[in-house]
Chain A
Amino acid sequence: TQLLEQSPQFLSIQEGENLTVYCNSSSVFSSLQWYRQEPGEGPVLLVTVVTGGEVKKLKRLTFQFGDARKDSSLHITAAQPGDTGLYLCAGPSYSGAGSYQLTFGKGTKLSVIP
């Protein structure tokens, strides 16, 4: 079973601060996905990183995939209250007969205080 460890579990910061959250595994993944989940809703995909060492930017969010494809980070610059939510990383696994699953980390719950 491939496990994904996310840290920190909780993060509370002031508006305007920068932050980084981490997603680590002892297993190699072909790709990693990051989702954001707002209270009362289902997760929504933010980005997929595929290549080791890849960096993707989505406005104030920067995602990095480790060179060995075992870890990933999400950096938010100048956090805003709208960034509040649960951030989940997820890695794919494939089995026979075209079966595809995602393993999710437990998430980082971010609160951005105005």
Chain B
Amino acid sequence: NAGVTQTPKFQVLKTGQSMTLQCAQDMNHNSMYWYRQDPGMGLRLIYYSASEGTTDKGEVPNGYNVSRLNKREFSLRLESAAPSQTSVYFCASTPWADTQYFGPGTRLTVL
């Protein structure tokens, strides 16, 4: 039982490049979330998926897209990376209105 897994763990991009961050959970949770964490800013919600087949914007969605591929997987895509997207990205899941279980994070640098 791996919990929430994220790939890659580290990534360096050049401005304008695209990439997809992958997240998977094996706990049969309904809801999944993508956050970014910047120094002094706490965790800010980018997008979430309340259940398979639905996605909604969070606090800071600009520059990102998401796909809830199935119940297990929720990916985050940066179409044209910008230095302002340098951050640590966390994926989380929850069965329903309960504890959120977080992955280990992806550390992204955009040059």
Interface residues of A (CB under 8 A from B): 9, 33, 40-45, 48, 88, 90, 92, 94, 97-102, 104-107
Q: Write the chain A residue with the least CB distance to B54.
A: A97
CB nearest to B44 among chain A residues:
A104
Instruction: Report whether A99 and B99 are in contact in the complex, using a CB–CB cutoff of 8 Å.
Output: no
Task: State how many residues of chain B have any CB contact under 8 Å with chain A.
Answer: 27
Known contacts A45-B99, A100-B97; decide if A88 and B42 are in contact (CB<8 Å): yes
Task: Mark contacts of B28-59 with chain A using CB atoms, 8 A cut-off: 1 yes-contact digit, 0 otherwise.
Answer: 00010101000011111100101100101010
Residues on the A chain within 8 Å of B100, using CB? 43, 45, 90, 102
Asked if A42 meets B90 with Cβ closer than 8 Å, knowing A104-B42, A105-B42, the reply is: yes
Q: Is the pair B103, A42 in contact by a Cβ cutoff of 8 Å?
A: yes
Q: For residue A94, which residues in chain B have a CB less than 8 angstroms away from its CB?
A: 97
CB contacts between A and B, total, < 8 Å: 54
CA distance A92 to B100 in the complex (A): 11
Partner of A101, one of B40, B58, B102: B58
Task: Give the one of B40, B43, B56, B104 with max A CB within 10 A.
Answer: B43
Distance in angstroms from B54 CB to nearest chain A CB is 7
Residue from A40, A90, A100 within 8 A of B96 (CB atoms): A100
Chain A residues near B40 (CB-CB < 8 A): 9, 106
**Most chain B Cβ neighbours within 10 Å, of A41, A42, A98, A100:** A42
